[in-house]
Structure formats: C-alpha cells, structure tokens
Structure 1
Amino acid sequence: MIVGCGFTLRGDSSIDASLQPIYVVNDRATQELSLSLKRQFAINDVALSKSRKNAKLIVVVKLLDEDKRSVSLDNEARDAEYALFESASIELRKPDGSTLRGPHTLQQRRLTVNDPDNPIGEETEAIIVRAEMREQLSIRLARQVELWSHQLQEPH
C-alpha cells in the first residue's frame, strides 16, 4: 500500500547502477537549481561524475523562467497577494550528446500574502520562498530522471 501512494525511502536509489555516474550540465543562471538537483541525487545515493567523459548519462537542466505576478490588490491598490513562478526544463542525453528523453518542462508555483507596509520583509520572504521552490523543483527533476531511467531499463 505504501508503494501505491508514491512513498519512497530516502537514500534508496532506484536508478540502476549501470546508468551511473550521471553528469549534470547547467548554465550560469541555473547554478542554484543544479546544486539542489545534485544534492537530491546525493541523498538518493546516485553517483555523480565530475566530468562529462566519465558519465553514463548526461542530465541537462535549465531554469527557463522566474516570474512574480500580482494576484490581488488591497484597498489602496497595492499588492495584497502575489504568485511566484519558476519553470525549468530537463533533458536526458547519452554521453555522445544524443537525446534519450526530453526536454520536459516542470513548473513550481507559490502564492504569498504581502504586507504592503513592510517592503523589506516582502523581498526577504520572496528570497526564502524562491529557495524553497527551487528545492521542490529539484526533487521533481530528480524524480523525472528516475522515471526516465526506469523506461531505459525496460525491454522494448
């Protein structure tokens, strides 16, 4: 019953050892998200390669967009609530660079209540919320790689 709900134990990697180590490719804008993704792989005992030439799989991750939108206004026409959005794409490649799976886009959204009388607090809260969003996004990206790795292992 636990398996049916999607629960998995931390530290229990289900990426086959024959597909490891994995090399994560990112650009400068994606550095924070990439570090989170690498942390998720480390938590799940997935071997990472420091060089592309030693890897058995290449994971290309890109932060596509981060946005902030007003959701509602207070009685003085200031933001009462706003939504934060982040989206990233992930792609799985062979060591030679040819695409195995993807690109696949994932999005994380979070609604926050604003205190218009405390603009410094709003900025600080936005930084904290974005860090949490990237951590959640990295978990979802790691799960996507795990799903693809299972598909690669299935007989055709």
Structure 2
Amino acid sequence: MRNLIICLFCSLVISGCGFSLRGNYELPASVSQLTVGSSEAHSALERALRNELKPYSVEVIDSSVKGTSNTTSIYLLSDVLDRRLLSLFSTGQVAEYELIYTVRYELQFANSDAQLLEFEIKREYQDDPDAVLAKSRELELVLSEMRKQAAIRIIHQISIAQRTIVNTAVITP
C-alpha cells in the first residue's frame, strides 16, 4: 500500500510540473484547422507531414482551398538533401557521408505575421561500392525517416510557437 501511495504521489508531481513523454506534442485547441501547402507539387515532405498530423484532431486543408480567419498555415518552401564527405577507402572511393537534410518553411498563425523557419537534420551514411543496389534502397529509407523526423519537428514547432504567441499576448497589455 505504501509503494502504491509513493508511486501515485510521484506521478502527480511529475505530471503537475508539465512533464510529458518525448514525442507527445499536444497542439493547442486554437489550431483546429491547418492549411498545408508546398512549393513543389506532391512533395514527399508534405505527405509525411499530413501523415504525422493524422493522430491530432486537426482538419488539414489543402493550400488551394481558402481557409477561415482562424486557420494556421504551413507552407513548405524547400527541402534539400546535401552530402558532405566524411571518409574515403584506401582506393579513393567514398566510404562515409554525412547527409544534411535542410527544411525551410513558413508558419503563420491566425491574425499574426508569417514566420520563416529553417532547420537541419543530419545523419551519417556509410557507402559500400560493392552493394550499390542495397545502399540505394537504404538511402531511400534513411531519407524517408529524415522526412518523418522533419514532419514531427514541424508539429513540435507549431506547438511551441503557438504557446509563445499566447503567452506574449497575455503579457502585453
């Protein structure tokens, strides 16, 4: 009984301080509709973002449809994959790359100015010239995972930016 009370007390203290599990991002209630668009038609990052938004109770609207005045908008400007050489085999062939996935997007909340945001996701990638087909498939999987992580990061940024706007509006008279 004592252990149960201690566990209950600890969980109340942890949840009371605002702790939440990693990856558990709650979008504010004010983000009920979200307009998603991209400079590139049928963008893979846009599809990944739409997939990651499915668990949230947010109505995702295509950018071609005009949203209401309380609509939050995300416009994906660019997503670029760059490679940086890390090491070489003794034969001079590339042994290892650093993959750098750069995402630029515009985030605009209802009745506020658009924010231009950018971030990078980096991964190390080992190349094997003897297994070209397998490594090309592996590269596709790594890029897909990087897009998924970028979509999660955009959702997290929406949550943080909206809280910042709300807190700033409460503080300023």
* Mapping of residues 2-151 of structure 1, within 5 Å: 3-4=18-19, 7=22, 9=24, 13-16=26-29, 18-28=30-40, 31-50=43-62, 51-54=65-68, 56-94=71-109, 99-100=113-114, 102-151=115-164
SS at match of 1:136: helix
- In the superposition, the TM-score normalised over structure 1's length comes to 0.82
Instruction: Structure 1 unaligned segments of length 5 or more: list them.
Output: none
The runs of 5 or more residues in structure 2 that have no matched partner are 1-13
Q: 1:80 to 1:5 in 2, by over 3 A?
A: farther
Q: State how far apart, in whole Å, the 2-side matches of 1:90 and 1:146 are.
A: 15
Decide which structure has the larger Cα Rg and report it: 2
Percent identical among aligned pairs is: 20
**TM-score, scaled to structure 2:** 0.75
| Number of aligned positions between the proteins | 151
RMSD: 2.4
Question: Runs in 1 of length 4+ with deviation above 4 angstroms?
Answer: none
Pick closer, same or farther for the CA change 1:91–1:6 going to 2, 3 Å.
farther
